[in-house]
Amino acid sequence: MDIIYSVHAEEQLAERKIDKVWVEETIKSPDHTKKKKPNKYIVKKKLNGRTIEVVFMREKHIKVVTVYWI
């Protein structure tokens, strides 16, 4: 799975201390998935007692737009 990150997503990962492994795990095996547009998804997964939410676009590759704890 080819995953790239927007500049915003990279900043959010650093600021929120979120590991890319967690993002990839959430995309590959989410607990919940919402399709917002034909190619935009919001996925959630509970990790280490917290819930992570990842917003991404699926085209030729997966582009992570943002990521945060909820």
Q: Give per-residue pLDDT as tens, 15-67.
A: 999 999 999 999 999 999 999 888 999 999 999 899 999 999 998 899 999 99
The structural domains of the chain, with segments of one domain joined by +, span 3-69
Sequence-separated (6 or more) residues with CB below 8 Å from residue 33 = 41, 42, 43, 44
pLDDT at 59: 86
Cα separation, 16 vs 69, whole angstroms: 8
pTM summary value: 0.91
